[in-house]
Amino acid sequence: MFSWNRTAQINVPKIGQMAPDFKLPDQNGKIYTLADFRGKWLVLYFYPKDDTPGCTKQACMFRDDFHKLTLLGANLVGISVDSTTSHTNFAKKYNLAFPLLADDEAKVATCYDSLINLGIVKFAKRNTFLIDPQGKIAKIYLLASASRNSTEVIEDLKKLQFL
């Protein structure tokens, strides 16, 4: 039996490596690249599906902690393989003020080894990457907890900024 929480993550970018680049539209059609965030910390979180219980919980936790992340000099970006239309509806419904990038071809999720490919159905794995101001991966949260991910990122970001 297939269990997507136990899928191997053998090609995940490593801590200290440059984060894989991306060029994707957000829920408003604005195109973002990794270079847009150079000079600031970036919380890049992958999530399976807009408007599902776990993904909604995770997005709302990040929404509620958005001010704390901003005070720490961090940007926040969510990525799933959903469409920009789906992201627009999700962001409006839950008042999400951060970019949700549409990786509808699953290329970026693949580069971050954060894709579950079931053939005709694809989902992003719930992985989060904390990327430093130079564009290097500073921390990785594989199969992140929807309810704790935001808090864990904030705690680690505080620690990493004082190293």
| Three-state SS letters, 63-119 | HHHHHHHHHCCEEEEEEECCCHHHHHHHHHHHCCCCCEEECCCCHHHHHCCCEEECC
Q: At what angle do helices 53-71 and 149-161 cross, to 10 degrees?
A: 30
- Give the amino acid at 142: L
Domain ranges of the chain: 23-31+43-161
Catalytic residues: 55
The hierarchical CATH code for the domain 23-31+43-161 is: 3.40.30.10
pLDDT at 10: 66
One digit per residue, pLDDT tens: the chain, 163 residues? Answer: 333 444 456 688 999 999 999 999 999 999 999 999 999 999 999 999 999 999 999 999 999 999 999 999 999 999 999 999 999 999 999 999 999 999 999 999 999 999 999 988 999 999 999 999 999 999 999 999 999 999 999 999 999 987 6
Q: Is the pTM of this model over 0.85?
A: yes
pLDDT at 12: 85
